[in-house]
Amino acid sequence: MRLFDSKKLAELQQNTSNIRNICILAHVDHGKTTLADCLVASNGIISPKMAGKLRYMDSRKDEQERGITMKSSSIALYYCLEGKEFLVNLIDSPGHVDFSSEVSTAVRLCDGAIVVVDVIEGVCPQTQVALKQAWLENIRPVLVLNKIDRLILEMKLSPLDAYVHLTQVLEQVNAVMGELFATEILGRDVVTVKTKTHEQSQMNRDLSEWSTGLEDADDSQLYFSPDHGNVVFASAVDGWAFSVADFASLFASKLGIDESTLKQHLWGDFYFHTKTKQIISGAQEKAKKPLFVQFVLENLWAVYDTIAVRKDKEKLQKILDSLHIKLTARDMRHTDGKVQLQAVLMQWLPVAKAVLSMVCEKLPSPLEISEEKVEKFMCSQTERFDALPSETQALKSSFLRCSPLNDSPVIIFISKMFPVERKCLPQNRQQPLTAEEIAQRREQARQKHAEMMMQTCSLEEKKSIQNLSEADLSMMSTKKDEEQTSPLHLSDDVFIAFARVFSGTVKKGQEVYVLGPKHDPHQALEMLKNGQDINPNLKLKDLKSGQHITKVVIEDLYVLMGRELDEIDCVPAGNVFGIGGLEEHVLKTATLSTTVACPAFTELTLMAVPIVRVAVEPCQPQDLQALIHGLRLLNQADACVQVIVQETGEHVLVTAGEVHLQRCLDDLKERYAKVDINASEPIVPFRETIVVPPSVDMVNEAILDQHNAPKKAPGHEGDAETEALITIHTSNKQSTIKIRAAPLPSDVTTLLENNTQLLKAMDRHFNSNVENTRDSEEMSSEDAHNATLLTERTLKAINNLREELKKAFANAGKEWEGALEQIWSVGPRRCGPNILLNRVPGYKRSSVWEKFNKDNFIDPRAEYDSSFIYGFQLATLAGPLCEEPLMGVCFVVEDWILTSQQDSSEPVGSQPFGPFSGQIMSSVKEGCRRAFQAQPQRLMAAMYTCSIQANAEVLGKMYAVLARRHGRVLHGDVVEGSASFCVEAALPVVESFSFAPEIRKQTSGLASPQLVFSHWEVIEIDPFWTPSTEEEYLHYGEKADSANRARKYMDAVRKRKGLAVEEKIVEFAEKQRTLHRKK
């Protein structure tokens, strides 16, 4: 039974300094949900016996079946530490990569995090991601080293070996923290150092200056160390956990040492000198047992050994006596040692005490929110805080005060919308009746029933009615009540907003603004000043482009209690809670506030790239509407899902990975759309590129000269030199363009690829004027201030990028000389990894690094500049191989001639080939495509990296699976202190489907990989390759269609897109005949 009702929780919510909002982060299967179970059990919500078995926070059916968490969910817990009452809002998050967006939604609402690490597996990829995410969101972590029982029972380590192992795991975790810290400090340093030496020469900056930044920075709070009290050792499944403080208090009096001294020295290289009763350092050197081994681990090992291994009943009694623990008679009789063990340890070292004490002591309350964090919430990294309107800047103090008082503006952030079955809402749940109510109802029912019967039946029956049992009567009455209250036909799910109040108190019935993610306080304030207000009837679907605000009256507020919700009337600042009735106003995230000056919170930092797409359609065409409705709900419920309607009318679902995809499809079928659906094979994106002509052929023979000639572009003849340079005319012959394509140096491509956000910001900044003239007036004020928005930091970053590109070009060789300043545009979408170079003689246009204003140029070509760029953007968006975007391609424009000036006053209709700007655009696009085709073309595949932990025995099988799927092993290493190997491999996304189940099957479930998108890689086969030398014929046969993987991928994409595919179905009919003659 729950020990604390919602009244108590509501009372705790008022005391902001004693609130802790925390989440549990870890790699998949490291024991987050099991740990949460132990904490939940401490509040009586589940029985302690069921803790670890129930996995209470995994409320979905598929979560229980698969044994992994798929969503983050919150629960409010009570904890009393030294007489002070705390409210802990605990959020359990998933560890599987596919659901990492759910982690982002959780981390945003928290001030602290419990990072769980499985001591056997150590730091895994998702542990690193979790730590990084906590770091980026400025939340303070504490560490739980979990599954210590495995060191005892599974690995059978001695206490000393276990101690060494634990120090190693701790070091691994601290190494990640150190790296994060160094990266940040160095990053910060770049800015400060550069501003300092702005006018001095850059040469002054030497290495010593870099390191001083690191030395000066304070990192004492950064690392995990048991003596700092931010590490707990645990076995969640056995229900125990302790910090060194727990053991210090146990042994201090016994050893006659001051408790705080013991606490500081219990972990580390110290030993106990029995004669002098002193703690002395240098245990390792002198081959002594460290204190931690002698007093902590050996005791623990002894308990395990006695109860679980030797099952020594006599000794058990001794242990119970010395620890002052009582077991129930049933536990004493139990034959399973493990059950007794758990019963003993649960009482001796309860998880909730160790973990929640650490949380309450070490993690910050909402009041301790830092200025840095607030600024990060209020404006993105590329923008400047002081560029926000003054009313908005003033809100910073409200964030910092975190005051629940009525004079503070209400500021709420909603990080996701989650679905709840309508019948589970507290207002629709049947309230348990009080004893009085039951009695009253019973009486009423009896009277009513008796009256009714009196009128209709005989005397005898009357008697029997009076004898009717009470239970029967109350049954009758409740049945009737149910009938009366059955709700109207409504959809089965409602969406609850997962939110946190950062300032003020939100109450039922209060009216607030709902500010969409793109809301801009500048614009909104201006609008209000002009006397316009927000129409209170507006809903999300009524908003026009450029509008991001609606108004709503708060209807329902809830305390989130894991699987349940408790109704509540108001929520003061600093709490995580749920809001009902916002479906029509919020899609995925939003900010609620009583003032429009409040900026939209910056976007969540998503760690996974959604990359797997499928097209979905209903099995029955008439179900299309249901599917569309379902897709809308799914889109709202999941931060990482994208739903796209393609031009072809196809509905495409973009998901993070295979497991995520499966969950989305199940949800659609069973919950949101409730119709049968067909999903296409997963659609995987490709990139198209060109390469330097290869020097060897498919059988590694050097290519002779005649083969070296690049592929001929259609409709073009001539030798290789001129062939590569494409000359193209506009349809009216008034303009001639010469374009050549070349592969970009790989460093340049990588730089561009990694800096898309920066390029986007730069484009917005420099091209704001261009936008201005093109877009409606409404946009103008927004753009005008966009131009001034770039922060010092962003400008530095742009300069940095420019410097690095310069270096990359310089390293690439002579032909790239001066290329940096000739960059005309990058594409696709003005921020991609392809470049348009301006080598037009006499056309001196400013490069991408400066603002381009066509009015400053007298050159007639400047008029058509934007059409030219647009043509290039189109060409890079869809390449000729299979209409996928280009990557790493440079288009060099060698000439652009306008033969006669167009008369712009001439009406469009009289121009025989349409507007001239359009002709330029299409010619540039066509020219780029042809120039691309004149080079050796290649496909690029998206690659996953995966790290797989496996035993030595199954390593061979694992390599075989990887090889069959064209994967590549990057490196493999023995995991220290265990017999397993950790292998890192790269695997093409196209080949990755059902990879995880296959690996698991082949290795009998011993290896389970985590796939994370990492980069794009060129597939080293020409998709148009056919064997041409004798060796190649010999090796691949005449058709060689099995060898050409690139061709296979390309054709599959073309087929899907409905493009022409060159395929010969039956080439030589006689080949299919059986030559074997029957006799």
User: What residue ranges bind ligand GTP (CB under 6 A)?
Assistant: 26, 28-34, 55, 67-69, 94-96, 146-147, 149-150, 235-237
Minimum Å gap between C-beta 233 and ligand GTP is 10
Provide the residue type at 258 as one letter.
Answer: D
Residues in the chain: 1079
Among residues 707, 689, 408, which one has the least CA distance to residue 574? 408
Among Mg ion, ligand GTP, none, the one that 1023 touches (CB under a kind-dependent 5 to 8 A) is: none
* Cβ closest to ligand GTP, residue 24 vs residue 798: 24
* Cβ closest to ligand GTP, residue 29 vs residue 658: 29
Minimum Å gap between C-beta 72 and ligand GTP is 10
Minimum Å gap between C-beta 246 and Mg ion is 26
DSSP 3-state assignment of 29?
coil
Q: Environment class of residue 946 by beta-carbon count within 10 Å: exposed (0-12), middle (13-18) or buried (19+)?
A: buried
Spatial separation of the C-alpha atoms in residues 610 and 606, rounded to whole Å = 10
Cα→Cα distances 375→111, 392, 575, 742, Å: 15, 11, 20, 44
Among ligand GTP, Mg ion, none, the one that 146 touches (CB under a kind-dependent 5 to 8 A) is: ligand GTP
Minimum Å gap between C-beta 612 and ligand GTP is 19
The residue range among 27-35, 292-300, 443-451, 540-548 that interacts with Mg ion, by the rule CB under 5 A, is 27-35
Minimum Å gap between C-beta 137 and ligand GTP is 19
**146 lies in the site for Mg ion, by CB under 5 A:** no
* Cβ closest to Mg ion, residue 102 vs residue 638: 102
Provide the residue type at 1035 as one letter.
Answer: H
Minimum Å gap between C-beta 73 and ligand GTP is 11
Q: Are strands 112-118 and 140-146 parallel, antiparallel or unpaired?
A: parallel
Please count the residues of this chain forming the interface with Mg ion, following the rule CB under 5 A: 3
* Cβ closest to ligand GTP, residue 144 vs residue 596: 144
Minimum Å gap between C-beta 32 and ligand GTP is 4
Q: Return the residue matching tokens 């009837």.
A: 537
Q: What is the DSSP letter of 194?
A: H
Paired with 411 in beta bridges are 503, 593
Spatial separation of the C-alpha atoms in residues 598 and 25, rounded to whole Å = 30
**Footprint of Mg ion on residues 481-500 (CB under 5 A)?**
none
The residue range among 28-36, 640-648, 881-889, 943-951 that interacts with Mg ion, by the rule CB under 5 A, is 28-36
| DSSP code string of 690-711 | E-PPPSB-TTSPBPPHHHHSPP
Among ligand GTP, Mg ion, none, the one that 235 touches (CB under a kind-dependent 5 to 8 A) is: ligand GTP
Provide the residue type at 776 as one letter.
Answer: S
Instruction: Please report how many Cα atoms fall inside a 13 Å half-sphere around the Cα of residue 947, on the Cβ side.
Output: 19
The residue range among 39-47, 66-74, 165-173, 736-744 that interacts with Mg ion, by the rule CB under 5 A, is 66-74
Query: For residues 666 and 635, is the Cβ–Cβ distance under 8 A?
Result: no
**27 lies in the site for Mg ion, by CB under 5 A:** no
Q: x-or-dash pattern for Mg ion, window 822-841, by CB under 5 A?
A: --------------------
Minimum Å gap between C-beta 119 and Mg ion is 18
* Cβ closest to ligand GTP, residue 98 vs residue 697: 98
Minimum Å gap between C-beta 69 and ligand GTP is 3
DSSP 3-state assignment of 506?
strand
Minimum Å gap between C-beta 995 and ligand GTP is 18
Among Mg ion, ligand GTP, none, the one that 357 touches (CB under a kind-dependent 5 to 8 A) is: none
The residue range among 64-72, 129-137, 338-346, 623-631 that interacts with Mg ion, by the rule CB under 5 A, is 64-72
Among residues 482, 489, 496, 481, which one has the least CA distance to residue 444? 481
Among Mg ion, ligand GTP, none, the one that 585 touches (CB under a kind-dependent 5 to 8 A) is: none
Residue 605: what are its φ and ψ, rounded to 5°?
A: -85, 105
* Cβ closest to ligand GTP, residue 69 vs residue 340: 69
* Cβ closest to ligand GTP, residue 55 vs residue 263: 55
Helices (H) and strands (E) in the chain, counts: 38, 33
Among Mg ion, ligand GTP, none, the one that 28 touches (CB under a kind-dependent 5 to 8 A) is: ligand GTP
* Cβ closest to Mg ion, residue 66 vs residue 854: 66
* Cβ closest to ligand GTP, residue 93 vs residue 834: 93
Among residues 424, 430, 432, 403, which one has the least CA distance to residue 580? 424
DSSP 3-state assignment of 896?
strand
**96 lies in the site for Mg ion, by CB under 5 A:** no
Q: What is the DSSP letter of 601?
A: P
**69 lies in the site for Mg ion, by CB under 5 A:** yes
* Cβ closest to ligand GTP, residue 101 vs residue 235: 235
Q: Which two tokens stand for residue 84?
A: 């002070």
Query: For residues 352 and 88, is the Cβ–Cβ distance under 8 A?
Result: no
**33 lies in the site for Mg ion, by CB under 5 A:** yes
Minimum Å gap between C-beta 566 and ligand GTP is 24
Select from 32, 265, 362, 585 the one that contacts Mg ion (CB under 5 A).
32
Among Mg ion, ligand GTP, none, the one that 157 touches (CB under a kind-dependent 5 to 8 A) is: none
CB burial of 211-245 (b: ≥16 within 10 Å; e: otherwise) equals eebeeeeeeeeebbebbebbbbbbbbbbbbbbbbb
Paired with 942 in beta bridges are 1016
Minimum Å gap between C-beta 414 and Mg ion is 23
Q: x-or-dash pattern for Mg ion, window 740-779, by CB under 5 A?
A: ----------------------------------------
* Cβ closest to Mg ion, residue 97 vs residue 823: 97
Q: Environment class of residue 859 by beta-carbon count within 10 Å: exposed (0-12), middle (13-18) or buried (19+)?
A: middle
Spatial separation of the C-alpha atoms in residues 846 and 561, rounded to whole Å = 59
* Cβ closest to ligand GTP, residue 33 vs residue 919: 33
Among residues 703, 686, 705, which one has the least CA distance to residue 694? 703
* Cβ closest to ligand GTP, residue 514 vs residue 1006: 1006
* Cβ closest to ligand GTP, residue 77 vs residue 741: 77
Minimum Å gap between C-beta 614 and Mg ion is 26
Provide the residue type at 249 as one letter.
Answer: S
Minimum Å gap between C-beta 116 and Mg ion is 10
Among Mg ion, ligand GTP, none, the one that 1027 touches (CB under a kind-dependent 5 to 8 A) is: none
Cα→Cα distances 434→15, 242, 252, 431, 439, Å: 30, 42, 51, 9, 9
Among Mg ion, ligand GTP, none, the one that 150 touches (CB under a kind-dependent 5 to 8 A) is: ligand GTP
Paired with 235 in beta bridges are 240
Among Mg ion, ligand GTP, none, the one that 29 touches (CB under a kind-dependent 5 to 8 A) is: ligand GTP
* Cβ closest to ligand GTP, residue 100 vs residue 1044: 100
Minimum Å gap between C-beta 642 and ligand GTP is 23
Minimum Å gap between C-beta 142 and Mg ion is 18
Q: Environment class of residue 65 by beta-carbon count within 10 Å: exposed (0-12), middle (13-18) or buried (19+)?
A: exposed
Q: Give ∠ CA 29-30-34 in degrees, rounded to 5.
A: 85
DSSP 3-state assignment of 832?
coil
Spatial separation of the C-alpha atoms in residues 788 and 791, rounded to whole Å = 8
Closest residue to ligand GTP in the complex (CB) = 95
Spatial separation of the C-alpha atoms in residues 975 and 607, rounded to whole Å = 26
Minimum Å gap between C-beta 440 and ligand GTP is 46
Spatial separation of the C-alpha atoms in residues 581 and 1058, rounded to whole Å = 44
Question: End-to-end CA distance of the chain, in Å?
Answer: 84
Provide the residue type at 339 as one letter.
Answer: V
Q: Which residues bind Mg ion (CB under 5 A)?
A: 32-33, 69
